[in-house]
Amino acid sequence: MSRPEVLDVLGELISACETEALRFHAYADIVGSVELCCLCTRRAVECMQAAHDLEAELLRLGGEAEGPRFDEQRGWTAMRGALGRYQREGLSGEGADSDFAALGCYRRALDRELPAEVRAVIERQSHRLQLTHEQMLHACQEEGGAQVP
């Protein structure tokens, strides 16, 4: 895989992590359960850390940091949260889509021929994302069927 292709893969994953972090922050603001709020907040922090780790790989390979890739997403999420603060279904359904999209993004990345160091970072993050997603599913089921953020 060429260096520009590896940088593109890293950029896509960084963007997915940042978008997911924003959605989890928005969802944490509106959930009724303390447990779900804590899980969402923790997941948002983990997503931003994952984005930082990926950006370190991008810089190590000679890529350039683009700054936050989610300015439009941030505005959309803030607006959506303000309009639907008391409608859990709105953000939670989209959060689930985001989580599944992030998992798909990681799976597509791992299907590529990546340098060993980059692959190790992506595999670790993919595994963590899957575990967190399963925790969220379990917590939402315990909350009486709340949708997965």
Helices (H), 61-87: 71-83
Helix 116-142 × helix 34-60 angle, to 10°: 170
Of residues 148, 130, 144, the one with CA closest to residue 40: 148
Q: CATH says 3-142 is which class?
A: mainly alpha
- Residue 52 confidence (pLDDT): 95
Domains of the chain, by residue range, sit at: 3-142
pLDDT (mean) for 133-148: 71
pLDDT per position as a tens digit, 30-46: 877 888 889 889 999 99
What are the pLDDT digits (tens) for 52-94? 999 999 999 999 877 655 444 544 555 455 444 434 444 445 4
The pTM (predicted TM-score) of the whole model is 0.78
